[in-house]
Amino acid sequence: MDLFGTAGVRGRVEERVTPELALAVGRAVAAEARARESERGGSPEDPPRVVLARDGRVSGPAIAAAMEAGLASGGATVSRAGRLPTPALAHASRGRYGVMLTASHNPPSDNGIKLFRDGVEFDRDLERAIEARVDAEEPPAAWDAWTEPDRVDVLHDYLDDVRGYAAGFEVDGDGAGNALDGLRVAVDCGNGMSAPATPAVLRELGATAVTLNGNVDGHFPGRGSKPTPETLRDLRAFVADANEGVDEPGRDGEGFAFGIGHDGDADRIVVVDADGEVVHEDTVLAILAERYVRASDAGDPVVVTTPNASGRIDERVRAAGGRVERVRLGALHEGIAAVRAAAEPAADGDAGDDTEVVFAAEPWKHVHTAFGGWIDGVCSAAVIAVLVASEGLESLREPIAERPYRKVSVDCPDGRKEPVMARLTDRLPAAFPDATVDTDHGVRLEFPDASWTLVRPSGTEPYVRVYAESDAVDELVEEVREVVASAVAEAES
Amino acid sequence: MDLFGTAGVRGRVEERVTPELALAVGRAVAAEARARESERGGSPEDPPRVVLARDGRVSGPAIAAAMEAGLASGGATVSRAGRLPTPALAHASRGRYGVMLTASHNPPSDNGIKLFRDGVEFDRDLERAIEARVDAEEPPAAWDAWTEPDRVDVLHDYLDDVRGYAAGFEVDGDGAGNALDGLRVAVDCGNGMSAPATPAVLRELGATAVTLNGNVDGHFPGRGSKPTPETLRDLRAFVADANEGVDEPGRDGEGFAFGIGHDGDADRIVVVDADGEVVHEDTVLAILAERYVRASDAGDPVVVTTPNASGRIDERVRAAGGRVERVRLGALHEGIAAVRAAAEPAADGDAGDDTEVVFAAEPWKHVHTAFGGWIDGVCSAAVIAVLVASEGLESLREPIAERPYRKVSVDCPDGRKEPVMARLTDRLPAAFPDATVDTDHGVRLEFPDASWTLVRPSGTEPYVRVYAESDAVDELVEEVREVVASAVAEAES
Amino acid sequence: MDLFGTAGVRGRVEERVTPELALAVGRAVAAEARARESERGGSPEDPPRVVLARDGRVSGPAIAAAMEAGLASGGATVSRAGRLPTPALAHASRGRYGVMLTASHNPPSDNGIKLFRDGVEFDRDLERAIEARVDAEEPPAAWDAWTEPDRVDVLHDYLDDVRGYAAGFEVDGDGAGNALDGLRVAVDCGNGMSAPATPAVLRELGATAVTLNGNVDGHFPGRGSKPTPETLRDLRAFVADANEGVDEPGRDGEGFAFGIGHDGDADRIVVVDADGEVVHEDTVLAILAERYVRASDAGDPVVVTTPNASGRIDERVRAAGGRVERVRLGALHEGIAAVRAAAEPAADGDAGDDTEVVFAAEPWKHVHTAFGGWIDGVCSAAVIAVLVASEGLESLREPIAERPYRKVSVDCPDGRKEPVMARLTDRLPAAFPDATVDTDHGVRLEFPDASWTLVRPSGTEPYVRVYAESDAVDELVEEVREVVASAVAEAES
Amino acid sequence: MDLFGTAGVRGRVEERVTPELALAVGRAVAAEARARESERGGSPEDPPRVVLARDGRVSGPAIAAAMEAGLASGGATVSRAGRLPTPALAHASRGRYGVMLTASHNPPSDNGIKLFRDGVEFDRDLERAIEARVDAEEPPAAWDAWTEPDRVDVLHDYLDDVRGYAAGFEVDGDGAGNALDGLRVAVDCGNGMSAPATPAVLRELGATAVTLNGNVDGHFPGRGSKPTPETLRDLRAFVADANEGVDEPGRDGEGFAFGIGHDGDADRIVVVDADGEVVHEDTVLAILAERYVRASDAGDPVVVTTPNASGRIDERVRAAGGRVERVRLGALHEGIAAVRAAAEPAADGDAGDDTEVVFAAEPWKHVHTAFGGWIDGVCSAAVIAVLVASEGLESLREPIAERPYRKVSVDCPDGRKEPVMARLTDRLPAAFPDATVDTDHGVRLEFPDASWTLVRPSGTEPYVRVYAESDAVDELVEEVREVVASAVAEAES
C-alpha cells in the first residue's frame, strides 16, 4: 500500500484516512518502534514512547482514539498531547516518537497522519517499513505488553523555546522582547492550530497581535484552510484599510506592520505586507535564507530547498556566501540528512565538518535547523516579527529581485509520464542551449539572468507541470509547453 | 464587609479579589448552602453541589483553585467546569449552585466573583448572608465532610440549547438554521470567552462567522475588554471596509450583515451595523423588547429595565401592547422576581396569573426570560442573527426613534449625596412641571414627547450623574445640571 | 457473525476481542442508536450519548480507545467514565446508552464488551442488529457528524444510590447506617473493580471493611478473577482464623461477621460465612428472593431465575407467597421483560397490573429490580450486610434446606446435540415418571421432594451438561447420565 | 511561626493545617523559589516549577487546591501529580521543587506539608525562609506572573526506576525479575498510597503480592495508619495462619515468605516474618546498612542514622568495613549533606573524595542514597523482597544480635529541660564511667558490649525521654531514670 504520498497520509475520513487506517498505522508504528529499540538493545520492559496530537478538525478525536488504540495494542506507550500545532508536536517528539493527526491545509472533510522520530519526519526507509506492516496486518502485541496512556501538556514549553530562539534575532534586544515594543501584527489563524500559538509568542516577544479567525473550529468557517491570496482577502483588506493614512503602520498603536496567514496546523506561513499584498513565498524564503547564511560561522553554510523554489533564493544565498542544495518536494528532512551525510569527515579526518545546513525550506514551509529539524510556521512568524521590528519589512525585501512566475499543467496520462520525461531530458536542453541543466528532480533549466523553468510529472494527477520564473515569463512558458506537448504527442503514437 | 457592589465582587487580584478572598467566599458559600439545604430537610450525606467556572484571565486558575479549596473545605461538592462564558455557567447552575470567576469587561489585572443559585444570581439576602460569614471568618467543616471535586463539560449542552432557542425565531426556518443561509457576521470576541461560543452557535444556525480576536488570551491583547465604539474600532473598520461597494452586505458571500462585540465573559453584547457604526444600546434593547412583547400570549406582558434605559423602549413596548417596569442598576433578577411576586394570584384565585416577564435588560445586558434567568450575550447574538437574517437590521431599527443622549457628572462629595437627593426630589419636579415623576431609583422625569432625564448619585464615585435623552438634549442637560449644582451648593453650606 | 454468546462478547484480546473488533462494534452501536433515535423522531443535531467504561484489565485502555473511535466516527457522543464496576456503568446508562468493557471473571488475557440501553443489557433484537452491522462493515458517518468525547465522574452518584437503597433494609436504622454499628466484614476484591466500590459503601453504611486484594491490578496477581472456593482460599482462611475463639465474630471489633468475594467487574458476589465456608450460591439467592417477596406489596410477586438454580429458591419463594419464573441462562433481563409484558392489563383494564418482578437472579448474579435492571454485586453486598447486621447470617440461612449438588458433562459432538435433546425430551420423562417436566430450557425434572435435575447442551463446548440437586445426588446423576449417554450413542449410529 | 517540627508541618485540618495555611505556605514557597532562582541569574520569564501531590486523605483535594492557589499566585508553575506515595513525589521533584501533602501515619483528621527541592526535603535554612514569609504574609506576585497548572503522570516512571534499581540486587537475576520466581509476599497497604506502588513493583519483579487494605481510603477503615504490632494484627495473623504447616512459606504458591506494612504515604515500612512477628526495626535497618556497606567500592562508606537507632547497626556496619554517623531525628537529609560536606577534597586536592554515604535511616525510614535522597518505603520493599528471594529472611537476620529495648518518659516541664540536660551532660558519664559518651543529640552512652542508652528532651511534650537497649535493659533503664529524675528535682529548687 502506498500510504505516504508527497504530502504524507492524507485524505477523506470516511474513505481513506479512516479510524480503521489510523488503528492499523498506529499498530505498525508501535511494532516497528519496538523492533528498532530491541535491535539497539533496549529492554522489553521499556516500551517506546509516542507523543500523540491532533489539529482542530472535527474528525480529530475519533482518529486520535483509533491511533491510540493501535499504538497501545502494539506495545508503545502513548502520551496524549491533545490539540497542537504540528511544529509543537514535532518539538515534543524529540527523544521519542511523535504522531500528528492533521491534513494541514486540506478541507475539513479530510485528515492525515504525520510521523516523527526524534523531531524529524519519518524517512522513506521508515515509511516503507510502516507500509509493509500495514499491508501485512500487523497483529496486536501480547496482551501484557499493552500500555496505558498518560497525558502531557507540551505547548507551553514549545512556546517558551520559540520565544527564546526568536529573541536571539533582536538587534538591540535584551531577550525579553522589548525591542518589539508593541509592534502591531495582524494574524489570520484560519480557525486552525496557530491560534493558541503564534499570537501568544508575539505577545511575549512584546508585539501586539490582533487575530482574524482565532477561534479554533474544525469546520474552518472563516476561510479556506489553505492560505492563498484569495482566502486571505479578509486579512489583506483588514491590514490595508487599517494602514490607510497611517505614517508608520504598526508603530504607535496604529495599523499593522505586516500580516501573517497560517494553515490549519501552523506549519505553513504566508506574509502580507503593509499594503495588504501577499509577499511572494520565495521572497520570504530568500530573506530568511540570506539571514541564516550571514549569521552562520560555518565555512560551508548550506540552504536546502526544492526545485520549485525561485532562483532569487540562490542569488541571495550566494551573495551571502553560502550555497543552495535542492531536494525533491516534501523531503526537506531527507535533504538535510543527505547534506550532513556528505559532510562527514573524510577518512583523513579532514574537511567536511565545516559544512552546516543553516536553513531548509520549500515555499511557505521553513525548517529553522538551529531550532529543530521540522517545518515550523510559528517559529517563522516569531523570527520574521523580530526581523521586521528591527529593520522593517521593506528594507528586508529590497535586495530581492521578484520576477513574474507561472505554473501550467500539460495533459499527460499516467502511463506515458515516464517516456515523456525521458524524452524531455534530451529535448529541453536541446531547445534551450544557453541554460544550465539539472535533472535530479524533473528537468530544471537555469538561464544566465537567473530566470528558470522546471518540468516535472505530477505525483497525483494526469499532468506534466511546467513552472517558470522570468521577466518574460509568458514567452518562456509557452516555448516550454510546446516542447512538452509534442513529447506527449509522440509518446502517444 | 461590603463585598458586593453593583458589579458584584470585583477588583485587582493582588489586593482585593485575592486567592485569600476567594477561599473565604467559597467557604461562606458552602456553609450557607449547607445551612439552607439542611433547613429544607436535606440529608447531611448529600452535600450541596457547586459548578465552578472562570473566564480566560491570567489570574483565573489560581483564583479558581482557592475558590475550590474554600468550597470543598466548607462541605460543598465542586464540579469543575473550566473556562466558560458567564451565561454558560449560569445555565449549568440550574438545579444547583454556580460560581463564576470573572471581572467581566474590567482590565486584565482584575478578577471577580459572581454567585448563582438555580440559574439566577444571588439576591441581596443571600449576598448579605455570604458577607456575614466572610466577616465572621467561617471555619472549615468537620474533616470528614470535606469533598473531592469532579469535572463537567457543560459548554456543548449550553450551545445546543441556545441554538434550539434561537432557531425558534426563524420566520421560515426549519429549526436547523437553514434560514440563515450563510449570512455573514463579523464577531469581535475581544480575546474573551465568547470565542468558543458565539461563532459556534452562529455556524450551527447556518451563518458564517468571521472572528476578530477569537483567540482566548487573558492579557486582552487585541483590544480593551470593554466593548465601546473606541475599542471596537478594528471591528467597525473591518465591517465597513468589507461592505464597501457591496449590494447586500453579508449575503452572497460578500461583506457582513452586521458585527458583534462581546466583553470578556460574554454576558454583554454590542451590535455594529453594516456601515460599521455601533447601534445604540437602547435601540438593540427596544428591538428585542418589542419582539418579545409581540410574541407573548400573556395578557400582561412586562419588560423589566433600569432607569438609565431610554424611553424609546417604553414607546415600542407600549406600541406592542406591553408595559415596562424599572429596577435599580445591576438588579434585573430582583426586578423579575418582584414582578412575578406581584403577579401572584389574589386570594380569590383571580387575575394576576396572566402577568409574564417577557424580557429584562439594561443597556448591553439582556435576560431572555423564556430561555433562562441570567444575562446572556451569546443568546442575544443568536437571536439577533436570526432576526436580521429574516428581516434585515435596518427594518428592525426603523420604527425606533433614536434621540440624542447625554450623560454628565456633577461633583458631589459622598457625605452630601443624601441631602442633595432629598432636595432634588422636590426641586426637579418643581423645575419641570409638565414631566411625569418617578423617584424609585433616583429622580426620573419623563416628558410628553417621551424625552426623559434621570438624576442619581454614583454608587462608587463622588458625583451625581445626570442622564438625558431628548431632541434638545444639550438644553435639557444644562437646565437639570443647574438645578443639581445649586442643590449641592446649598447642602455644602 | 455470532458475536454474542451466553456471556456476551468475550475472548482473548490478541485474537478475538481485538481493538479492531471494538472499533467495529462501536461503529455499529452508534449507527444502530442513530437509526433508532431517528425512527423516534429525534433530531439529527442530537447525537445519541453513550457512557463508556472499562474494568481494570491491562488491555482496557486500548480497547476503550478503539471503542471510542468507533462510536465517535459512527456519530454517537461518548462520555468517558474511566474504570468502573459493571453495575456502576449500567446505573450510568439510564436514559442513554452504555458500553462496558470487561471480561468479568475471565483470565487477564481476555476482554469483552457488554452493551446497555437505559440501564438494561441489549436484548436479542438489538444484539442481532449489531451483529448485522458488524458483518456489513458499517462505514463511518459523514465527517461532520463525528463527535468529541466528554468525561464524566459517575461512581460517586452510584455509590450514593446504593447506600440509600441498602439503608432502606435496616430494621431499626435511621438511614444513615448506624444500625451496622461497626460490623466487621472482610472483602476480597480480587484486584478488580469492586475495590473502589464495595468497601466504600460498607463504610458509609457504618460497617468496617477489611479488604484482601483491594488494589486494582489487571494482572489479577492476588487470585484468579473468578471467585470459587479454591480462589477464595486466602479470604476463607483469613475469616476463619480471625474468628477463632471470638464469641460474636464481626462485633466489638473482633473477627468478621462474613466475607465477600467479587469477580473482576463486581457483577458477581460470593458470600463466605464466619467459619470461612462459602455459602451455597442458591442459598444466597433464596435469602434475597424470600426477602424481596415478603417485602413486596404486589398481589403477584415474581422471582425470575435460570434453570440451573436450585429448587430451594422455589420453596422459599412459595413459602413467602410468590412464584418463580425460569428463563435461559444469561437472559435475566429478557425474563424480566417477558413477565412484565405478560402482566400488561387485559383489554378490560382488569388484573395483570398487580404482577411485579421483585427479584431476578442466577447463581452469584442478582438483579435488584427495585434498584435497577442490571446484575449488581455491589448492591448485593450492601443489602446482605444490612440484613446480616439486623438478623445474623445464620438465622437468615436457617430455613433453607441445602441439598448436595453435582454437575457432570457427557461427551456429545456439536452436530448431534439437537437430535440428542429431541430424544431426551421423551426419554427423560419416561425414565422418571414421578417428576414434573419443564422443557423450556433443556429438560428439567422436579421431584416431589423438591430435588431436581437439568439436562442441557453446552453453548460453547461439545458436551451435554447434567445438573442435579438431591439428598441422593450421586445416584440421581448416574441414572440421568446413563439416559443421556445412550441417547448420544443412538444419535451416532 | 514555628511551622516545621521534627515531623514537618502536620496537624488537624480544621485548626492547624487548614486550606488557609496551605495557601500561605504555597505563596511563600513560590516567592522563595523565585528569589533563589533570580539570585542564580534565572530569567523572570521562567517561573520555578513545583510538582504537587497528595496522599489519599479526605482533606487532600481541598488542601491541594489551596496549595496550588498559593503557588500559582506566588508565581510558580504547578504540575499537578494527583495522589502519590511520598517517595514518588520526591523522585518527581528532582530538578525542580516538590510539595507533598500528607500527614504520614497520623489519623485521618490530620494533614501535613512536606517540601522538597531537587529530590531532598527542605533544609533548616529553607524552612526558616518559608516560616519568615508566612509570618510576613507574603503578598501575591504581580498578576501577570501568575501561572496556569499542568498535569503530570509520574507514578509509572517512579515504579520503573524502583524496579530497575531493586533488580540490581538480584544475585542470579537477569534484571527482569525472574529470580523472584513467584515469591509470595503479603502487603498491608493500610488503605494508603503504597497500594498503587508496592504491589505493582513486586509483581514486576516477579513476585506475587497479596494485599490487605489495598483500597485507598482516606478514612483508613482497615487499620490505624501507623503500622505497629497492634495495628498490623490482621496482617500478622494472615501470614502466620497461611504458613501453618507449609514447608517453605512463600515458595511453590503456598504461604508468604514475609509481610510488609506501610504507613499512609509509604515512606515507612515494617517487615513481618513468616511467623507473623514484626522484625525489629533496627534489625531491618542493620540488614540494609550492612548490605550497602559491603556493596560499596568507596574507601570510607558511611551509614547515617539517628540517636534512637540501635547499636546493632553499628556492629554490622563496622563488621562490614564502614562507619556510622548519627544526626538528630527527622534530619537524615541534613546528616547526608554534612557527611558529604566534610568529605569535600582538601585544598591539596587530596583525600576526602573517597567518603560515600551508602545508606541513611532512622527506624522504619530508609534513604537509599544511590537511588535518591529521600525516605523510600517502596524502594525498601522492593530491595528487601529481592534480598529475601536470594537469601531468605532468616539468614539475613541471623548475624544480628537483637537485645531487649525500652523507652520511658520522665516528667520535666519545658522550662527546665535546658538546665536538666546541661546537668546530665556531666552526671550521666560520671554515673557510667565505662561508657563512651556522645552529646551531639542528647546524651548517648555506649557500653563495651554494644548496649546503649540515650537521654533527650522531647521536642513536643513535657518529658525527658530515656531509650535503652541491653541484655539487662530493665536495670539499665532504672539506673538512668534515677539520674534523670534527680537532675529534674534539682532544677526545680
DSSP letter string over A288-322?
Answer: HHHHHHHH---SEEEEEE-TTS-HHHHHHHHHTT-
Whether residues C214 and D210 touch (CB distance < 8 A) is answered with no
Identify the three-state secondary structure at position B4: coil
CATH for A281-373? 3.40.120.10
Superfamily of the domain at B405-492: Alpha-D-phosphohexomutase, C-terminal domain (3.30.310.50)
| DSSP per-residue codes, A51-88 | EEEE-S-TTHHHHHHHHHHHHHHTT-EEEEEEE--HHH
Cβ–Cβ gap D45/A153 under 8 Å: no
CB-closest option in A70, A108, A144 to C58: A144
pLDDT at C348 over 60: no
Sheet holding C269-272, edge to edge: C269-272, C258-262, C184-188, C208-212, D208-212, D184-188, D258-262, D269-272
Inter-chain contact B45–C176, Cβ cutoff 8 Å? Answer: yes
Pairing relationship of beta strands D208-212 and D184-188 according to DSSP bridges: parallel
How many Å apart are CA B75 and CA B484, to the nearest integer?
A: 51
Q: Are D132 and D35 in contact (CB under 8 A)?
A: no
By C-alpha distance, the chain B residue nearest C148 is B156
- Do C70 and C26 meet the contact criterion of CB atoms below 8 Å apart? yes
How far is the C-alpha of B40 from the C-alpha of A96, rounded, in Å?
A: 58
Length, in residues, of chain C: 493
Please state, in angstroms and rounded to a whole number, the distance separating the CA atoms of residues D77 and D100. Answer: 15
Q: Tell if the CB–CB gap between D153 and A150 is shorter than 8 Å.
A: yes
In this structure, chain A runs to a length of 493
How many residue pairs bridge chain A and chain B with CB atoms within 8 Å of each other? 80
Residues 6+ apart with CB under 8 A from B409: B458, B461, B463, B464, B465, B466
Q: What is the pLDDT of residue A58?
A: 97
Query: C121 near C114, Cβ under 8 Å?
Result: yes
D9-153: CATH topology is Alpha-D-Glucose-1,6-Bisphosphate; Chain A, domain 3 (3.40.120)
* Contact present, C103 and C112 (Cβ < 8 Å): yes
Handedness of CA D254, D259, D264, D267 (dihedral sign): negative
Arithmetic mean of pLDDT, C313-327: 93
Q: Chain centroid to CA A396: how far?
A: 22
CB contact under 8 Å between C153 and B153, yes or no, is no
The structural domains of chain D, with segments of one domain joined by +, span 9-153, 158-272, 281-373, 405-492
What's the Cα-to-Cα distance from B145 to each of A320, B44, C202, D62, rounded to whole Å? Answer: 72, 9, 17, 11
User: What pLDDT score was predicted for residue C177?
Assistant: 47
The answer to whether the Cβ–Cβ distance between B45 and C156 falls below 8 Å is no
Grid cell 491545509 is found at A105
Closest residue of B to A238, CA-based? B238
Residues of chain C with pLDDT > 90, as a percent, come to 74
Instruction: For CA atoms C202, C207, C212, C215, give the dihedral sign.
Output: positive
Q: Do C163 and B45 touch (CB under 8 A)?
A: yes
Query: Where are the extended beta strands (E) located within A107-257?
Result: 110-117, 120-121, 150-151, 184-188, 208-212
Distance CA A383, CA C238 (A): 69
B touches which chains (3+ CB pairs under 8 A)?
A, C, D
- In this prediction, residue C173 carries a pLDDT of 47
Residue C306 cell numbers, joined? 435460570
CA distance D315 to chain C (A): 39
Look at residue B421 in the predicted model and tell me its pLDDT: 92
Region of A313 please: left (phi>0), alpha (psi -120 to 50) or beta. alpha
User: Strands across the sheet with A184-188, in order?
Assistant: A269-272, A258-262, A184-188, A208-212, B208-212, B184-188, B258-262, B269-272
Per the listing, cell 452518584 goes with C157
Residue of chain A whose alpha carbon sits nearest to that of D161: A46
| Window C:124-183, CB contacts with A under 8 Å | 139-144, 146-149
Regarding the domain delimited by B158-272, which CATH topology (the fold level of the hierarchy) does it fall under? Alpha-D-Glucose-1,6-Bisphosphate; Chain A, domain 3 (3.40.120)
pTM of the model: 0.89
Residues of A catalogued as catalytic: 104
Q: Are C45 and B176 within 8 A, CB to CB?
A: yes
CB contact under 8 Å between C150 and B163, yes or no, is no
How many angstroms away from the CA of C250 is the closest CA of chain B? 24
Return the pLDDT at C203: 95
Beta strands in C198-299 (DSSP E): 208-212, 258-262, 269-272
> What stretch of H or E contains B114?
strand B110-117
- Tens place of pLDDT per residue across chain A (493 aa): 678 876 679 999 999 999 999 999 999 999 999 999 888 876 666 899 999 999 999 999 999 999 999 999 999 999 999 999 999 999 999 999 999 999 999 999 999 999 999 999 999 999 999 999 999 999 999 999 999 999 999 999 999 999 999 998 876 544 444 568 889 999 999 999 999 999 999 999 999 999 999 999 999 999 998 999 999 999 999 999 999 889 999 988 899 999 999 999 999 999 999 999 999 999 999 999 999 999 998 999 999 999 888 888 998 999 999 999 999 888 899 999 999 998 876 555 554 558 999 999 999 999 999 999 999 999 999 999 999 998 899 999 888 777 788 888 999 988 899 899 999 999 999 999 999 898 888 898 988 887 889 998 887 788 999 988 888 889 999 999 999 999 999 887 6
Q: CA dist B235 to A215, A220, B381, Å? A: 16, 20, 15
The partner residues of C209 in beta bridges, in order of sequence, read C185
Q: Which of B129-133, C344-348, D418-422 has the lowest mean pLDDT?
A: C344-348
CA–CA dist D228, D235 (Å, integer): 11
**D70: distance to nearest CA of chain C, Å?**
27
Q: DSSP letters of C464-486? A: EEEEEE-TTHHHHHHHHHHHHHH
Q: How far apart are CA C305 and CA C365, in angstroms?
A: 10
Separation between Cα atoms, residue B52 and residue B86, nearest integer Å = 11
Q: What is the pLDDT of residues C231-270, one digit of tens each?
A: 999 999 999 999 988 999 998 889 999 999 999 999 999 9
- Listed in sequence order, the DSSP H helices in A40-174 are 60-73, 86-92, 124-135, 155-167
Q: Which residues of D touch A47 (CB under 8 A)?
A: none
Which residue in D65, D140, D219 is closest to B14 by CB distance?
D140
Rounded Cα–Cα distance for residues A416 and A487 (Å)? 10
A230 touches chain B (CB under 8 A): no
The residues of B carrying an active-site annotation are: 104
ipTM of this complex: 0.87
Q: Which residues of C touch D234 (CB under 8 A)?
A: 210, 238, 242
Closest residue in chain C to residue B205, using alpha carbons only: C45
State the smallest CA–CA distance between residue A211 and chain B in angstroms: 5
Residue owning grid cell 514557597? D29
Q: Do A69 and C72 touch (CB under 8 A)?
A: no
DSSP secondary structure code for residue B370 in this structure: T
List chain A residues with CB under 8 Å of D163.
45
Distance from the Cα of A153 to chain D's closest Cα (Å) equals: 6
Least confident of B163-172, B411-420, C358-367: B163-172
The residue ranges of chain D whose pLDDT is under 50 are 173, 175-177, 351
CA pseudo-torsion sign B127, B133, B139, B143: negative
Average pLDDT in the C352-376 region?
Answer: 92
Counting as contact any 3 or more CB pairs under 8 A, the partners of D are: A, B, C
Q: What is the pLDDT of residues C431-456, one digit of tens each?
A: 999 998 988 888 999 888 878 899 98
Amino acid at A108: P
Q: What is the DSSP string of C396-447?
A: HHTT-----EEEEEEE--GGGHHHHHHHHHHHHHHH-TTSEEE-SSSEEEE-
SS3 state of residue A399: coil
Distance CA B410, CA B404 (A): 20
Residue D109 CA to residue D16 CA, distance in Å, equals 11
D203 close contact with C: CB closer than 8 A? yes
Nearest to A69 among C14, C19, C58 (CB): C19
Confidence tier at C407 by pLDDT (50, 70, 90)? confident
- In this complex, the residue of B200, B212, B217 whose CB is nearest that of residue A212 is B212
**Which has the closest alpha carbon to A45: D426, C227, D319, D200?**
D200
Contacts of B220 in chain D (CB under 8 A): none
pLDDT given for residue D85 in this prediction: 98
The answer to whether the D9-153 and D281-373 domains have the same CATH topology is yes
Strand partners, B313: none
Q: Which chains touch C (3 or more CB pairs under 8 A)?
A: A, B, D
- CA-nearest residue to D47 within chain A is A160
| CA-closest candidate to residue A257, choices A209, A225, A222, A289 | A209
Measured CA to CA, the distance from residue C374 to residue C379 in angstroms comes to 10
Q: Which residue of A has its CA nearest to B239?
A: A238
**Residue of chain C minimizing CA distance to B149:** C153
What is the rounded distance in angstroms from the CA atom of residue C73 to the CA atom of residue C141? 6
3-state secondary structure of D84: coil
**8 Å CB contact of B153 and C151:** yes
- Could you say which residues from 75 to 114 on chain C have a Cβ atom under 8 Å away from some Cβ of chain A? 108-109
Residue B426 main-chain phi, psi, to 5 deg: -90, -45
